[in-house]
């Protein structure tokens, strides 16, 4: 059995996360038992939600245990199997974590899933045709429930969730406006993803300036908003919402370091009769097949062209993750392991 390099959470952050919170270790992969599968990870996913789990605080999920492999999605190839439904060479996705190999009990429902890489590249099963894509699908379809002609806005528009949201909303006949950091990201959002407009938040550093930019980009107001960030951008969006607007609250990355995120004018929820719903996509597994089918077709047909930032090697994971939290990635952040 191969030697396995792993990134573990060595200590908890105090405020901002740093590379020293992680530790690279090596261990021997144990021999397989009945129904177990050995997977060589080709890619592992880095996602903003992981920052919240590094804290020892009450949340929707248990904290990441200290001294254990950082948890997260993986895509790879079966190299050995003692389960009848998996054989060497199968391409699979799972939750193998920040390590080069994982031993998976494939008899557990949902622990490992075969994927077809003939039309969709393996890496996209961790992004547009994976958890981030389904997150966008659920927020749009089940919470915002868009109608053709309405205006949708999404933060982190060039990322894995935001890009999928744009493609899904355009497919439903909506005007879609993104918010992203940097002129290059905004050019990609409009030019390659097909958004109607994109606002560079780096050019609008407060709610008043951002609200003015949103007024120009959304002349008919905002009907649906997918929130990944929070902070002053949320305040600016609320100022531009129409009556009966819907907000899907997915993340608040501006507050992941423990800073409070007060709202300037919460009375707007009442004045505009806004519906706000937070959600965790893993609590809605019943919609995943429908969502993944639509997302897979969007990617295979070229209607959704996801972009990826790929760091090389397990040793690069901490710095790549910290860069993700600061918006240095362009598209879905992955680590290539094989």
Cα angle for residues 179, 183, 185 (degrees, 5° grid): 60
Q: Are 171 and 37 within one domain? A: no
pLDDT score, position 260: 79
Q: Are residues 204 and 181 in the same domain?
A: yes
Shared domain for 194 and 56, answered yes or no, is: no
Do 119 and 196 have their domain in common? Answer: no
Residue 101 shares a structural domain with residue 184? no
Residue count (the chain): 338
Low-confidence residues of the chain: pLDDT under 50: none
Write out the two tokens for 19: 């590379």
In a domain, 290, yes or no: no
Residue 288 belongs to some domain of the structure: no
Quote the pTM value: 0.90
Residue 275's pLDDT is: 98
Output the pLDDT for position 180.
96
| Burial track 149-175 (b if 16+ CB lie within 10 A, e otherwise) | ebbbbbbbbbbbbbbbbbbbbbebebb
- What is each CA distance from 309 to 127, 244, 333, in whole angstroms? 11, 37, 5
Q: Which pLDDT value is given to residue 201?
A: 96
Q: Are 223 and 197 within one domain?
A: yes
CATH number, residue 328: 3.90.180.10
User: Which residues, other chains included, contact 75 with Cβ-Cβ below 8 Å and sequence gap of 6+?
Assistant: 41, 42, 43, 44, 45, 91, 92, 93, 115, 122, 123, 125, 126
Q: Is 299 inside any structural domain?
A: no
In the DSSP assignment, the letter for residue 263 is -
Tell me: do 34 and 148 sit in the same domain: no
3-state secondary structure 42-91: EEEECCCHHHHHCCCCCCCCCCCCCCCECCCCEEEEEEEECCCCCCCCCE
φ, ψ of residue 210 to 5 degrees: the values are: -65, -40
Residue 209 lies in a domain: yes
The answer on 53 and 100 residing in a single domain is yes
pLDDT in tens, 40-55: 999 999 998 899 899 9
Instruction: Give yes or no: residues 27 and 49 share one domain.
Output: yes
Question: Residue 141: which domain range?
Answer: 131-282
Q: Residue 58 domain-assigned?
A: yes
Q: Is the dihedral of CA 25, 29, 35, 40 positive or negative?
A: positive
Same domain, residue pair 96 and 149: no
278 within domain boundaries: yes
Q: CA 91 to CA 81: how far, in whole Å?
A: 13
Split into its structural domains, the chain has a count of 2
- Flag whether 293 is in a domain: no
Interatomic CA distance for residues 225 and 222, integer angstroms: 7
Residues 71 and 11 both lie in one domain: yes
Q: Are residues 138 and 177 in the same domain?
A: yes
Tell me, yes or no, whether 296 lies in a domain.
no
> Which CATH number fits the domain that encloses residue 245?
3.40.50.720
What is the per-residue pLDDT for 15? 86
């Amino acid at each position: 059995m191969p030697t396995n390099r792993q990134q573990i959470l060595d200590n908890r952050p105090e405020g901002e996360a740093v590379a020293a919170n992680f530790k690279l270790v090596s261990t021997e992969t144990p021999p397989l038992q009945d129904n177990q599968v050995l997977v060589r990870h080709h890619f592992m996913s880095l996602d903003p939600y992981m920052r919240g789990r590094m804290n020892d605080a009450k949340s929707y999920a248990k904290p990441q245990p200290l001294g254990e492999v950082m948890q997260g999605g993986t895509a790879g190839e079966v190299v050995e199997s003692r389960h009848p439904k998996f054989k060497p060479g199968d391409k699979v996705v799972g939750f193998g974590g920040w390590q080069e190999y994982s031993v998976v009990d494939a008899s557990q429902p949902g622990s490992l899933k075969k994927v077809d890489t003939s039309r969709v590249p393996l890496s996209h099963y961790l992004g547009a045709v994976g958890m981030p894509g389904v997150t966008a699908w659920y927020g749009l379809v089940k919470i915002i429930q868009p109608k053709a002609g309405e205006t949708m806005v999404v933060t982190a528009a060039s990322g894995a969730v935001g890009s999928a949201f744009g493609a899904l909303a355009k497919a439903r006949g909506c005007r879609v406006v993104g918010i992203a950091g940097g002129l290059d990201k905004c050019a990609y959002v409009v030019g390659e993803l097909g958004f109607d407009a994109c606002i560079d938040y780096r050019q609008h550093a407060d709610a008043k300036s951002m609200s003015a930019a949103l007024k120009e980009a959304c002349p008919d107001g905002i009907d649906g908003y997918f929130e990944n960030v929070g902070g002053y951008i949320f305040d600016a969006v609320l100022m531009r919402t129409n009556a009966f607007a819907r907000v899907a609250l997915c993340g608040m990355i501006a507050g992941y370091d423990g800073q409070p995120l007060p709202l300037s004018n919460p009375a707007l929820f009442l004045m505009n009769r806004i519906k706000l719903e937070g959600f965790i996509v893993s609590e809605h597994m019943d919609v995943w097949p429908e969502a993944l089918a639509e997302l897979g077709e969007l990617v295979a047909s070229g209607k959704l062209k996801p972009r990826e930032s790929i760091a090389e090697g397990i040793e690069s994971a901490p710095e790549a993750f910290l860069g993700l939290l600061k918006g240095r990635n362009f598209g879905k952040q992955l680590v290539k392991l094989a």
